[in-house]
Amino acid sequence: MTGPEVKRVMARLSLTQQQLAAELGVARNTVNRWANDLEPIPRMAQLAMTALLIRTKTEVAVGAKKMLKSHRRLMDKVSK
């Protein structure tokens, strides 16, 4: 993972460096160094950022599924 990729993760998740640092359990300065390619990103941090992206995608998918289910129930009630 590169600095620009860290920046894309932050943008995709709408997180600041401080917020991403809190999610990963590191200092904001550490995220800053990663984002600016000043320090290599440990494999575990890369995996954690990937997990954050997957969790977000999963939450969106689950939310959409629940919304669709609610819509179907409502439409069933309306059509009766």
Domains of the chain: 3-79 (1.10.260.40)
Q: At 39, is the pLDDT very low, low, confident or very high (cuts 50, 70, 90)?
A: very high
The predicted model scores a pTM of 0.70
What's the CA gap between 25 and 51, in Å, rounded? 14
Question: Beta-strand (E) ranges in the chain?
Answer: none
Q: What is the pLDDT of residue 63?
A: 63
What's the CA gap between 80 and 76, in Å, rounded? 6
Range with the largest mean pLDDT of 50-54, 68-72, 74-78: 50-54
What's the CA gap between 4 and 10, in Å, rounded? 10
Q: Are 40 and 5 in contact (CB under 8 A)?
A: no
